[in-house]
Amino acid sequence: MNNLTHKGIVLVPSDFEGVNWVEKLAAANLNTLGMHSGGGAAHDVRKELKFMRDAAFRKQLAEQGLDYEYEIHCSHDLIDHALAETHPEYFPADYRRREVITDGNWCVSNPEALKLVVENALLLARDLPSSTHRYFFWGVDRLQRAWCHCPKCAHLSAADQVLITANAIAERITEVDPQGMVCYLAYQTSLELPRHVKPHERVFMEFAPYFRCYHHAFTDKNCAVNVSNREAFEKMLTLFAPEKTHILEYWLDSSLYGFTQHPPLKPIFVPELVESDIRYYCSLGIKSITTFAVRQDGEYMQAHGDREFQTYAEILNKYL
């Protein structure tokens, strides 16, 4: 498949425990599954994806008319962090003491480090093919001590460094997928306009408003949190084409509210606010919207049911 519009959810393998999400997505007339290996600490992406990395599972999705893609925090898959012992120059320098951050991303000003990142990204793209032809290679999942502030990188913001990396991968992604596109993740510290770098023609923006407020519509002028997020987003659209932009929301994400509670918590989901958000995104020319729905597994469904998922699908189908 390669649907012209993308509407769906993003899940981790454990969300399939007690729920047949493949059938559920197809029955709801959604068409895209994003597969996620988890956030937080660095991990072995291929191992944590479990059955999601199997060709048999991708075939099952395709047979139901579903597109699929992998959205992964993969810093340790893109560069072997054991290299910090022999090549500390490959890794970020902290802005306070310029000490090497051995569990961060990489120094984008070091050509050898960036070459390794690109080569490993291509290996991941081969191992984890995407029917949407979109590839999401995200860095470490934290606010601080992620990117580089060495003398050569000091003028580059986190947003610049994310885009430099995406551009470098995009330059070669067609070696794996002739239609391949690479994600610039606008999230946390990269939710601002890059200052020194322009996107490669094969780079698109993924907007993930992790710190937005769900008690108000995204366009609510009386919500200071959402005003700042929306202003940042609309500035980003002056650089990234809306028709290529992908929205990754958190409307259905139980994990946003906690990882340890049993049963998992219901997310804050107000149908009229979700519809307002989707209507706003679509009014800008955006044709691709998904939401995290992590921890909506069998335990969640037994406790809370799937009304929010069904409502989300109904709203999304109304606009896309």
| 158 contacts: CB under 8 Å, gap ≥ 6 | 146, 147, 189, 190
In a 13 Å sphere around the CA of 31, the CA atoms on its Cβ side amount to 16
Q: Are 150 and 98 in contact (CB under 8 A)?
A: yes
Q: What is the mean pLDDT of the chain?
A: 97
Q: How far is C-alpha 171 from the geometric centre of its chain's CA atoms?
A: 20
User: Is residue 262 pLDDT above 90, yes or no?
Assistant: yes
Indicate the residue type of 315: I
Question: Which among 60, 63, 69 has a CA at the least distance from the CA of 7?
Answer: 69
**pLDDT tens by residue, 101-156:** 999 999 999 999 999 999 999 999 999 999 999 999 999 998 899 999 999 999 99
Using only the alpha carbons of the chain, give its radius of gyration.
Answer: 19
Which domains are delineated in the chain? Answer: 1-73+209-320 (3.20.20), 78-110+142-206 (no CATH)
Tens of pLDDT, residues 173-210: 999 999 999 999 999 999 999 999 999 999 999 999 99
The mean per-residue pLDDT over the stretch 70-82 comes to 96
pLDDT at 40 over 80: no
Question: Could you report the per-residue pLDDT of 216-236, keeping only the tens digit for each?
Answer: 999 999 999 999 999 999 999
Q: Check pLDDT > 80 for residue 2.
A: no
Report which of 128, 184, 181, 143 is spatially closest to residue 39, judged by C-alpha positions. Answer: 143
